[in-house]
Structure 1
Amino acid sequence: MQTPVLVDRPDPINLVLAQEEDRLDWLLPVRHSRMAVSPFTFYRGTAVVMAADLARQPHSGVMVQLCGDAHLLNFGFYASPERQLLFDLNDFDETHPGPFEWDVQRLAASMILAARDLNLSVKQQEKVCRRTVRAYAKAMAQFAAKPVLEMWVMQLDLDRLIEEAESKSLQCLLQSLAARAQQRNSRQAVSKLCEKDRSGELRIRHDPPLIFSFSEFQGKWLDYNKSRDEWHQDMYELYLANIRPELQALLSNFRHVDTAFKAVGVGSVGTHCAIGLWVDQRGEEVLVLQSKQAKASVLAPYVCLSTPEHQGQRVVQGQRLMQTASDPFLGWTSTPAGNHYYWRQFRDWKLSVDVSLLDAEGLTDYGRLCSWTLAKAHARSGDRGAICAAIGSSKAFAAAMLEQAVGHADQAQLDYQALLTRIASGEIATSHVY
């Protein structure tokens, strides 16, 4: 299928570079290198580009709480507060109200790009995409038929999902991930990222450029009139005020011992993301929290719907609305200068599927899994009946979404080549460490 690419659009690379104006400058070459790996990794880092493209297209007007960046690697495993392994959306930096189709198109285009990375035929690419979209439509119809209280708390039965997976490649991968995910916790993070100083105190290992200890930091990114300890304490006290009282009591058993900037993801690289290490009063337990800078969603310029003024609060409330169960440590805070952040647990059973290990059947099944999950998230915040009415025939809806997904995937590949050209010219710096 040949789909014409979009014309008369903002320069995509300039949109990416504009995002970097207040990011950590030593990490920008890392971001560029991660985006330069493949068209798919470029796509992962360019939600801002697709937002501008989506805003130029007609839509149904049926609004939901969007993930805002619903590509297939922003789904994965994590732990519920009751220590059950869940599968759900797991990245909400761009969450914002908007037309439900925008998330569906972001997911569908990512399926096309992932299928191309696997060297699947055009026919297989189209099949993967169509079945992903039809699975969304089918799931939404099921959610629309259920009482709202029943729908609200629905979760995937992971054991049954693994047992009944049609694809053996996906079945084996899910079994392995489910076992590995439960080993990813604060203790495991400390064993990999920390060391003891001369006094025997645990410290986060300084490993620039990807991990930069605050104790080694003398740059411009902290507020000028505050010491590091005062700066952190102000943020921590505001964070405590925005989580539940019982968690405040729990955290009173821990003391903060260290913090470091840590590069994460693709699109987020260079934003002010950090990990903080807490140790309990007995020195027996550790807790690692992640702090992520929250800036306005890339969708905000194109959707005139209200969201919280505090961008960390926007992320937290969007995540809680879309997920059936969320990290109990999720909360928002600000620096003394007024920059917005949200905090959450680091590596708390969090793990994503490596789609490069799947075959065509496995990718198709995984697309259906992500679609059910996305439909559930949309059903919690939107009018399920109105979404079903806007979808109409699932076959026609899938055909329309396929055409648009191919167009977005083709455009992403052209934009990726534009990035490589500007890297080759020396205009955009890269890093050998990424």
Structure 2
Amino acid sequence: MSTSPRPDSLALLLDQEARRLPWLVPVRHSRMAESPFAFFRGAAAVMASDLSRQPHSGLMVQLCGDAHLLNFGFYASPERQLLFDINDFDETHPGPFEWDLIRLATSLLLAARSLGLTESQQNKICRRAVKAYGEAIEHLATLPFLAMWSLRLPLETLMNEKAGPCLRSHLEQVTATALRRNSRQAVRKLCETEPNGRLRIRHEPPLIWRFDQLPPEWMAGMESTAWTDQVKGLYIASLPAAQRHVIAQFRISDVALKAVGVGSIGTRCGMTVFIGDHPDDVLVLQGKQAETSVLAPYLDQRVPDHQGKRVVQGQRLMQTASDPFLGWATNPSGDEIYIRQFRDWKASVEVNALDAEGLKDYGKLCGWTLAKAHARSGNRKAIASEINTPKLYARALLEQALEHAALAEADYRLMLEAIAAGRITTAGPSADQPTSTSAGFSPRRYSGS
């Protein structure tokens, strides 16, 4: 790690939150305050700063940018197969391959500590994941390009070859849940039917705000229908011709803001319910505000012409198969967003359901998956040469992961101290109308000490 002064980690988070929906900022703090692992999930900007302060390989790939273990999971391919891959690309950006790998390794250390595993078990889990990455890159470097490009991990292979008893048992539960998570299930859970038969999203502030309940200042002074029609037009223009035909068969029934995740909470995220002529024709799409990647300030790359397009293109480059409804738009307030299916067989592993062997197997699976994603955009032969001996490389990278885990735990303690001193607010936000003064973490209240 560099000997130059380390920036104030909480100040970096404050800078992110200055652009977020203020009534959700305290929710973000509450979620990050749950544990060092939860803090780490929301602190990709802090780790990006730390990574930038150390030497790197110079071997550039399309990075996930936030490759912690819970950003891997299941989703449906366009052919309706259940796939396992990276599933979050908010921070995707070209960069040195090891930055993703260090973040994955660090997340595994913190997850292992959250389970109360021994230091020896923690280190082994971390090393095995990195070794699996190195071995996968080594293998991928020997394949013809087209064979590598189309490579995917079938569910049967995952269950029978990649998972031990603990992980296999949990994956059986996770995949059964995933296959039930679709637009119809989302509608049953999140919507109600009015007497005239119209589907309406339940208004459940502060986490779900229907657009027609937002004050005019949050809608650029526009009616909600005009707002959504403008976004829909731009989104449709970003889709391939075949998908434009598909979406044309549906009409909007309702739209709402919906808070999601840990790192993303407070960004403008919404869900739109579409309906068709058949009673079973329902489609729920999620729009997420795409901000500048946390990696961008530290890498000399061309500035993308649209942040939502950046996310979509990064996802398509890294995933073997991607959501056919991926697109982008700019809303009337000037926020750049990307759009995808809200629930389409999406599900993730629950760390608390795993033991030491289960987490080790899952880390290896994530390592293989990350290697496949990097091989699609980078020089896989050069990366394999850089790693050279996967076992030895894993030992060296463990030392870096241990440093970053220690920093995350120290930053977490700083956050708890700031909460205790009243400099950061975590009290549940009010269900009153959102206002421009409802932020829970502002420059006026945080002094950095």
TM superposition score normalised by structure 2: 0.93
- The answer on 1:333 being equivalent to 2:329 is yes
The superposition leaves residues 120-156 of structure 1 with CA deviations (integer Å, 9 ceiling, x where unpaired) of: 1111111000111010000000000000000000001
Aligned to 1:40: 37
**1:327–1:345 Cα contact (<8 Å) kept:** yes
Amino acid in the other structure paired with 2:338: Y
Matched, 1:128 2:114: no
Indicate conservation of the 8 Å contact 2:77/2:323, yes or no: yes
Distance 1:322 1:161 in 2: 19
Find the counterpart in structure 1 of residue 90 from structure 2.
93
Q: CA deviation at 1:165?
A: 4.4
Cross-structure match for 2:136: 139
| Offset at residue 221 of structure 1 (A) | 2.6
Partner of 2:65: 68
Does the 8 Å CA contact 2:238/2:329 hold for their aligned counterparts? Answer: yes
Which residue of structure 1 lines up, in the alignment, with residue 152 of structure 2? 155
The CA deviation at 1:5 is: 10
How far did 1:223 drift?
1.8
| Corresponding letter in the other structure for 1:388 | A
> For 1:194 and 1:163, how far apart are their aligned partners in 2?
38
Does structure 2 retain, via aligned residues, the 8 Å contact 1:133–1:371? Answer: yes
- The CA distance in 2 between the partners of 1:6 and 1:88, in whole Å, is 36
Report the Cα distance in structure 2 between the residues aligned to 1:64 and 1:112, rounded to whole angstroms.
24
State the SS of the aligned residue for 1:221. helix
Could you tell me how far 1:233 is from its partner in structure 2?
A: 0.8
Map of 1:309-328 to 2, 5 A cutoff?
309-328=305-324
Whole-angstrom distance in 2 between the partners of 1:64 and 1:314: 14
Paired residue for 1:405?
A: 401
Instruction: Say which SS state the counterpart of residue 254 (structure 2) adopts.
Output: strand
| 1:347-426 map, 5 Å | 347-426=343-422
SS in structure 2 of the partner of residue 333 of structure 1: strand
SS of 1:275's equivalent?
A: strand
CA distance in 1, matches of 2:278, 2:145: 45
> Is residue 23–residue 270 contact of structure 1 (8 Å, CA) maintained in 2?
yes
Aligned length: 430
Write the distance in 2 (CA, Å) between the matches of 1:263 and 1:219: 20
Pair 218,6 (structure 1): closer, same or farther in 2 beyond 3 Å: farther
Alpha-carbon spacing, 1:161–1:433, altered in 2? closer, same or farther (3 Å): farther
**Alignment partner of 1:344 is 2:340:** yes
User: What is aligned with 2:183?
Assistant: 186
SS in 2 for 1:145: coil
Deviation at 1:413, TM superposition (A): 0.4
| Paired amino acid for 1:406 | L
- The verdict on how the C-alpha distance between 1:386 and 1:168 changes in structure 2, with shifts beyond 3 A counting, is same
Residues 164-175 of structure 1 aligned to structure 2 (within 5 Å)? 164-175=161-172
Partner amino acid, structure 2, of 1:343:
I
- The equivalent position to 2:54 in structure 1, one of 53, 57, 71, is 57
Equivalent runs, 1:266-285 vs 2, <5 Å:
266-285=262-281
Whether the 8 Å CA contact 1:33–1:430 is kept in 2: the answer is: yes
CA distance in 1, matches of 2:93, 2:301: 8
Q: Residue 200 of structure 2 is aligned with which of 190, 199, 203? A: 203
Q: In the alignment, residue 280 of structure 1 is paired with which amino acid?
A: G
Change (3 A) 1:158 1:55: same
Residue deviations 1:98-141 (CA, integer Å, cap 9, x gap): 00000000000001000000111111111000111010000000
Percent identity, aligned pairs only, is: 57
CA deviations on 1:213-245 (whole Å, 9 max, x unpaired) are 111111533223x32211111111010011111
Partner amino acid, structure 1, of 2:242: E
Contact 1:255–1:281, Cα closer than 8 Å, also in 2:
no
Aligned mates of 1:284, 1:42 — CA distance in 2: 40
- How far the C-alpha of 1:337 sits from its partner, in A, is 3.8
Q: Which residue of 2 aligns with 1:288?
A: 284
1:221 correspondence with 2:218 = yes
Tell me, in whole angstroms, the C-alpha distance in 2 between the residues paired with 1:54 and 1:159: 37
Give the deviation of 1:377 after TM superposition. Answer: 0.3
Q: Tell me the SS of whatever aligns to 1:220.
A: helix
In structure 1, runs of 5+ residues without a counterpart are: none
Residue 177 of structure 1 deviates from its aligned partner by 1.1
Distance, in Å, in 2 between the alignment partners of 1:319 and 1:312 is 11
What is residue 16 of structure 1 aligned with on the other side? Answer: 13
Query: How far apart are 1:171 and its partner, in Å?
Result: 0.6
Output the CA distance in 2 between the equivalents of 1:96 and 1:245: 27
SS at match of 2:141: helix
Report the equivalent of 1:83. 80
Distance 1:412 1:218 in 2: 38
Q: Aligned pair in 2 of structure 1 residues 50, 219: CA closer, same or farther (>3 Å)?
A: farther
Letter in 1 for 2:220: D
Match of 2:427, SS? coil
C-alpha separation in 2, matches of 1:220 and 1:88: 39
C-alpha contact 2:74 2:347 (8 A) present in aligned 1: yes
Q: Which runs of 5+ in 2 are unaligned?
A: 431-449
Aligned residue for 1:107? Answer: 104
Q: Which runs of structure 2 are paired with 1:225-244 in the superposition (5 Å)?
A: 226-244=222-240
- Determine the structure 1 residue equivalent to 2:293: 297
- The CA deviation at 1:160 is 2.2
> Cα offset for 1:6?
7.5
